[in-house]
């Protein structure tokens, strides 16, 4: 049974895309596809001027990949197909001709860090610590790596990738450039976003589009790059190490 949802709501030029899954807003394949589709649709919609990406609830922003799907992968093609879901969402944000703003209200894990990194601009709450946990389950943050490295730099990305069991605080993420600002209360973050988005909506759309192209200069090869990274992850997820690590995680839940 498929659970969760992705919705898109338009109001006065703002297109708010919200996703939800009961397992800490993790992203199984069908939600990744729905998220990609909604981003692409908003990008081509002339009535949408700014996109706000958020998740539901008041705890975890996104727990990343669905472990139930990961444990079920039994051949490399299925593995690649799953990880291509994250690649396609990142590339949808990259290619979208609208500024995408991320609202990170809680913890971000793995692919959740990738989503935040792919946004053109992010704000967060003090509860929005982040962790790249992929190495702990025998793979690595290969697909999301280019987005994370682009945002925080190779040194900070290396730290996150190698310290796979360590949470980095929201303040650390702000210092490294993942978040523009961090707020103690969700209400304060949302108040800031309301004013900031209202300001952006008053700006020249063509100027914003040109800025978007400047922000993403040098990423034109990401279609092929992220596909090759998905192949790497698809191969590694079949290893005995990965299978045992994921089983251990699921048994501990």
In contact, 78 and 41? CB cutoff 8 Å: no
Residue 99 bridge partners (DSSP): 50
pLDDT for the residue numbered 197: 98
How confident is the model over 161-191, as pLDDT tens digits?
A: 999 999 999 999 999 999 999 999 999 999 9
pLDDT for res 253: 65
Residue ranges for the chain with pLDDT beneath 50: 1
247 half-sphere exposure, CB direction, 13 A CA radius: 9
Token reading at 37: 């589709």
* Alpha-carbon span 207 to 127, nearest angstrom: 34
Per-residue pLDDT tens for 135-157? Answer: 999 999 999 999 999 999 999 99
121-125 and 5-11 strand pairing = unpaired
Domains and CATH numbers, the chain: 5-187 (3.90.226.10)
Q: Exposure string (b/e) for 213-238, b if CB count within 10 Å is 16 or more?
A: eeebeebeebeebbbebbbbbbebbe
Contact between 192 and 183 under an 8 Å Cβ cutoff? The reply is yes
Closest CA to 94 of 151, 12, 26, 56: 151
Using CA atoms, how far apart are residues 87 and 117, in angstroms rounded to an integer? 13
């Amino acid at each position: 049974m498929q659970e969760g949802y992705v919705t898109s709501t338009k109001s006065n030029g703002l297109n708010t895309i919200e996703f939800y899954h009961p397992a800490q807003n993790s992203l199984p394949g069908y939600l990744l596809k729905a998220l990609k589709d909604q981003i692409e649709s908003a990008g081509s919609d002339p009535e949408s001027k700014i996109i706000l990406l958020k998740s539901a609830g008041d705890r975890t922003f996104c727990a990343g990949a669905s472990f139930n799907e990961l444990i079920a992968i039994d051949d490399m093609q299925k593995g690649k197909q799953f990880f291509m879901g994250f690649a396609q969402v990142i590339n949808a944000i990259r290619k979208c001709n609208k500024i995408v703003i991320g609202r990170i209200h809680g913890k971000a894990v793995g692919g959740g860090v990738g989503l935040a990194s792919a946004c053109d601009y992010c704000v967060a709450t003090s509860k929005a610590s982040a962790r790249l946990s992929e190495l702990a389950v025998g793979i690595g943050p290969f697909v999301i790596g280019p987005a994370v490295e682009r945002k925080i730099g190779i040194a900070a990305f290396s730290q996150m990738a190698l310290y796979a069991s360590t949470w980095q605080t929201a303040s650390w993420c702000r210092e490294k450039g993942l978040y523009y600002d961090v707020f103690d209360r969700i209400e304060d973050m949302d108040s800031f976003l309301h004013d900031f988005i209202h300001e952006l909506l008053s700006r020249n759309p063509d100027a914003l589009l040109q800025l978007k192209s400047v922000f993403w200069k040098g990423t034109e090869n990401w279609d092929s790059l992220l596909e090759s990274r998905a192949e790497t992850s698809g191969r590694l997820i079949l290893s005995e190490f990965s299978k045992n690590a994921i089983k251990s995680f699921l048994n501990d839940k």
